[in-house]
Structure 1
């Protein structure tokens, strides 16, 4: 079977494609940034997206380095779309609303992060001032010609305009890549939870899924993500009902970085499970979604 390196566990639980630098290890680097946005936050928070088409060739992403101010950005996510973004559905500034009701007036709302696509996948996530990630040796995320990733979309979750300067917000990422194929392929498996947190409560939300496909997998990193009421995120591999291996656990009140997994192998049929612990000391219920709630 093909050995695949897998980035796990992400739980929820404008710009041009241009070369900026040739890095010492024969990797290239390019930016994906918001184009000087001035969010007004009519709903106290907004989700905005911008994107860049992948050239019609095979490229291999090897790392992500965030460039954002956590005083106004709660999180950023890079998404791979299976088709180029339909520019007829977005405005001329290559920016669109992508957070449902948490939107900005005067900006197009096509209904998704990848308008015109049938499918998408998470490639990277950043929150609360965390650092970036670089893939292990000879490992990459393939994008472009022979893949189902044709467009890269940056989603930014704004919750403040603190410190916003006259030229607007330029939050984004530097993406490192190579044009040399690697022997191992990286990807993200994400488990999500949704619901409403009752008032004056401590509650656990669980999620699980079964590993499919035919390839053996090796987990090398995990990330736990919640909004303000989250206290603990943990992830597990389940082979049998009485055979659980912890992938990792994190406090989502700390910088939400990808943390190393200690040499955990997974096979088709194994189950991934996640638990998110929330505490709500308020007098009203809190729906999933808004950071300020």
Structure 2
């Protein structure tokens, strides 16, 4: 993958060519942290690379280069513009600002999550003929790698880190473009309680999306995360189809969806995180292990079309938002049990 380091320090890159299970040439791009030294716990660091705008590339696989002992999680963002022109910056948007370091979002414009990794999840290969289009005339002109370092113990004694992702890609045009929509909720979890953090949104774009994989993410209080495709019938009754549900404390990889039924204009997506707290304090959504998160990632493809412009589906969460405020026929027990 051709890259440009205009206005930024170059990231160390290794590009190799190989052929494996695909019927076309596939190359590997090493997108790694440039031997950073995390200097405090709960630090989020980002590093960017500019993709060659003169041609299009299709990312078809993700091979993590990290362990959960080193990295709490990694996110790969596609951006129209990066959050900074520096080689590395503090990109923990919800965390504290450091006096001696720049803080900025992963993306300044056109932010979308392409891939996420945590808890020693294995590599991911997309279905045959499906790829994330980057460079060229796509909205993704930069890739930004974000790594969350929950602890700095592995870096004592001057050790540095090169966690990251080996990107498998091809220059062959693919008819099926991949996309990700991230569902999530804000809010809080009362002490000594079970709370349901929920979100939903309507697909307002006139596109047909084909779901094929999902991923769940919480911190320590998550018990079950579930995601649904909802279509309202002629009687106004919501018909719920399970996309997937997992224990979020197991390896946080992308799993095949339960059903690949196409999602169309007017349908809804919904997600729930069932949280159980034995803490004596209220837990709020935030970036550290002492906080919580509620995320459901849905990966999909569109044929001879571009992915959804809508890349995020968030609500304020409890106690401000619950499914009951706008949805009916809710599979309450199914959504909270494995």
In the superposition, the TM-score normalised over structure 1's length comes to 0.87
Aligned-pair Cα RMSD in Å = 1.7
Q: Which residue of 2 aligns with 1:242?
A: 238
Q: Displacement, 1:267?
A: 0.7
Q: Which residue of 2 aligns with 1:107?
A: 101
Q: Displacement, 1:69?
A: 1.7
Q: Is the 8 A contact 1:81 1:150 kept in 2?
A: yes
Q: Which residue of 2 aligns with 1:222?
A: 214
Q: Is the 8 A contact 1:197 1:203 kept in 2?
A: yes
Q: Displacement, 1:107?
A: 2.7
Give the Cα separation in 2 of the matches to 1:199 and 1:81: 38
Unaligned runs of at least 5 residues, structure 2: 1-9, 291-338
- The number of residues matched between the two structures is 270
Q: 2:133 aligns with which of 121, 125, 142?
A: 142
Q: Which residue of 1 aligns with 2:36?
A: 37
In the superposition, the TM-score normalised over structure 2's length comes to 0.76
Q: Which residue of 2 aligns with 1:130?
A: 121
Structure with bigger RCO (C-alpha 8 Å, 6+ apart) = 1
Q: 1:274 aligns with which of 261, 271, 274?
A: 271
Query: What per-residue deviation string (whole Å, max 9, x for no partner) do you get for residues 89-123 of structure 1?
Result: x3xxx1101113245563321x2112xx3221000
Structure whose residues are more often strand by fraction:
1
Q: Which residue of 2 aligns with 1:27?
A: 26
Which structure has the bigger radius of gyration?
Answer: 2
Q: Displacement, 1:72?
A: 2.7
**Displaced runs of 4+ in structure 1, greater than 2 A?**
20-25, 83-86, 100-107, 161-167
Q: Is the 8 A contact 1:50 1:154 kept in 2?
A: yes
Q: Which segment is superposed worse, 22-31 or 130-139? A: 22-31
Q: Which residue of 1 aligns with 2:332?
A: none
Q: Which residue of 2 aligns with 1:76?
A: 74
Q: Is the 8 A contact 1:78 1:152 kept in 2?
A: yes
Q: Which residue of 2 aligns with 1:192?
A: 184
Q: Which residue of 2 aligns with 1:3?
A: none
* Matching of residue 153 in structure 1 with residue 144 in structure 2: yes
SS of equivalent to 1:64: strand
SS of equivalent to 1:216: coil
Q: Is the 8 A contact 1:29 1:175 kept in 2?
A: yes
Query: What per-residue deviation string (whole Å, max 9, x for no partner) do you get for residues 165-190 of structure 1?
Result: 74401110000110011111110011
